[in-house]
Structure 1
Amino acid sequence: MATIKDVSEYAGVSQATVSRVINGTSRVSHDKKLKVEKAIQVLGYRPNSIAQALASSRTGSIGIIVPELGGPFYSGILHNLEEKLRRLGYHVVVTAGSNTEQGQRESVEFLLGRRVDAMILHTQHLTDDYLTDLENKGVALVLVNRFIPELAQNCIEIDNEFGGQLATEYLLRMGHRNIACITGPLDKSDARGRLQGYRKAIEKAGIMFDEALVAEAGFTEESGVSAMQKLLKRQHPFTAVFACNDHMAFGAFEVLKEHEIQVPEQISLIGFDDILFARYITPPLTTVNFPIEQMSAEAVQLVIQILNKSKRDVNFRLSPTLVPRSSVKQLNKVN
């Protein structure tokens, strides 16, 4: 059976570094963390979970709540979290809380009933007060893609505003001035952030914000179809569309195709998330990468630190990056 010493020798790091990765007691460089995780996987190392449970009254399980189990975005999050937690000797209990407050409250109660050691939550519907109350009652929790000021040390958030700004500024650099935006549901903070980034970029470029060029949708292909149809019916000219996630971009693309509007020759299109299918449509979709793997790694590191009552030393705010592909056309050279 592999030991910590075996893992340290395979990874080329000290046993103390291996222990820090496993227990999350302090920050370890990304390169060393990857080496340790690889060594754990290759050697099949498992912490003595039985001894740990007897010593700490823990179950060795982490609860995860996402709105839904289907689709490449949430499945990507679940895959990354489960893989990283399993390498550290934890099992996961996953529940889909649906897109309602009641459904997500029921998911929390389900996990508490299963006595999970901690929870990682990707939820927009549970109120700030409800989540703050859980933490005050001693529930170990980490929130991903959400920020609550009172729980700042429990949140791993994506800079959605910066991502929206990245996408819009890229379209501006490519010569577009009339840019439409398909937002997600504006009761969700990530959708509001991406819209704010869009607005900030166009106003910084000296362009007046036009509500007629904005259509609210629901982060799904079907809602992207509906939003794109609305934009075309309004007859406000535009040469580019920023869809605030890739699913809505796919829906918008289908509507443009039905109207025989070519992408990118007539309308340029950019999405957000960089899900797997984005690179395989024709033309491949320009998008903004949502750093799922990094977010998952930071969330796992943070939940271990919370459980061990050690210093919370993670990257709490992650920056998305632009992924240029062929769905955006340059209209003119901009100096």
Structure 2
Amino acid sequence: MATIKHVSEHAGVSQATVSRVINGTSRVSHDKKLKVEKAIKELGYRPNSIAQALASSRTGSVGIVVPELGGPFFSGILHCIEENLRRFGYHAVVTAGSNTEQGQRESVEFLLGRRVDALILHTQHLSDDYLIALEEQGVPVVLVNRFIPEMALSCIDIDNEVGGKLATQYLLQMGHTKIACITGPLDKSDARGRLQGYRRALEEAGLEYDGALVSEAGFTEETGVSAMKKLLKRECEFTAVFASNDHMAFGAFEVLKSEGISVPQDISLIGFDNILFARYLTPGLTTINFPIERMSTEAVQLTIQKLNKNKRDVNFKLSPSLVVRNSVKDLLNTL
């Protein structure tokens, strides 16, 4: 994505001159104006409406993009962000970008067109380059549940690797040595982190990682069902399953139940996220708590810091924690 810097270099003028041509805030010589307009056309640069709005006024709104509006995970994030924004006098403008790059880009462009003062994004499909370019154009951006090194001071993330390790270590402590893993889509950084934590816990326990015990899914109940069926068809021996989110754990649970396999008597099960429904499963699902409220609070704190240019205490890396319920069998103390 072309930026003002690219346009200035292509036209051989300063970035300030490019800005003046775009915003029409002051006179620019006809020659320089033609050069800038030619560079904009050749590079396909589209002036950013939010950057222009910030030059003159604010709307008192913050744009939020999430993949979907339904479900306890994203609805929880939206509720917490909206509640915290109101405390600072801001309103949320929310849009669902779906799980595609095109859908998420369209959501961002829509919000920019609405001249929101800042963006809070939960997006895994937008490229690093696209997001970096937004920030370079002067858009106050905060990313949640994602880390981009070039935007380190704009990212609120949790330690997914620690979470995956915690889940696997708990199963190991309960005497399980043959542990299957249902991962999220491995093109997503959070899924890769959780798988890495699972793998590291096994290695530190002196156990060999076995790819046949790993099945990739899509962070949904339906894909959890298919992933669990694949594991059972492989006829690999395992006594426990770590599902990288609770929705996939629910899907896995239904498959085990339909096959007459009892949780936790026959197979133990642990999830990730600690969504509300996890406590109402029978037996209650042991899981890793995703600090949704804390992440949302930190995201708003960082957004306000960016808008008001003031220093606020922000925790950029949050730690997950283990929530023990009844879905894991203790093999060490079983007669």
Q: Quickly name the TM-score band, shorter chain normalised.
A: 0.7 to 0.9
- The AA in structure 2 aligned to 1:164 is G
Separation in 2, partners of 1:54, 1:256: 55
Find the counterpart in structure 2 of residue 138 from structure 1.
Answer: 138
- The AA in structure 2 aligned to 1:116 is V
Q: Which runs of 4+ in 1 moved over 4 A?
A: 53-56
What secondary structure sits across from 1:73 in the alignment? helix
Find the counterpart in structure 2 of residue 112 from structure 1.
Answer: 112
8 Å contact from structure 1 (residues 179, 238) kept in 2: yes
Separation in 2, partners of 1:68, 1:86: 22
Find the counterpart in structure 2 of residue 327 from structure 1.
Answer: 327
Find the counterpart in structure 2 of residue 33 from structure 1.
Answer: none
Find the counterpart in structure 2 of residue 273 from structure 1.
Answer: 273
Largest Rg, 1 or 2: 2
Q: 5 Å matches for 1:181-260? A: 181-260=181-260
Q: Which moved more, 1:284-293 or 1:309-318?
A: 309-318
What secondary structure sits across from 1:157 in the alignment? strand
Find the counterpart in structure 2 of residue 32 from structure 1.
Answer: none
Q: How many residues align?
A: 282
Q: 1:135 to 1:54 in 2, by over 3 A?
A: closer
Q: 5 Å matches for 1:290-301? A: 290-301=290-301
Cα RMSD between the aligned structures? 1.5
Q: Say whether residues 1:72 and 2:85 are aligned partners.
A: no
8 Å contact from structure 1 (residues 199, 209) kept in 2: yes
8 Å contact from structure 1 (residues 153, 312) kept in 2: no
Find the counterpart in structure 1 of residue 30 from structure 2.
Answer: none
Separation in 1, partners of 2:293, 2:56: 29
Separation in 1, partners of 2:313, 2:56: 23
Separation in 1, partners of 2:57, 2:252: 51
User: Deviation at 1:311?
Assistant: 3.0
- The AA in structure 1 aligned to 2:192 is R
% same residue: 78
Deviation per residue, 1:286-318 (Å, 9 max, x gap): 000000000000000000000112236310000
Find the counterpart in structure 2 of residue 125 from structure 1.
Answer: 125
Q: Say whether residues 1:305 and 2:305 are aligned partners.
A: yes
Find the counterpart in structure 1 of residue 317 from structure 2.
Answer: 317
Deviation per residue, 1:220-267 (Å, 9 max, x gap): 000000000000000000000000000000000000000000000010
What secondary structure sits across from 1:63 in the alignment? strand
8 Å contact from structure 1 (residues 306, 312) kept in 2: no
Separation in 2, partners of 1:220, 1:256: 16
8 Å contact from structure 1 (residues 180, 241) kept in 2: yes
What secondary structure sits across from 2:92 in the alignment? strand
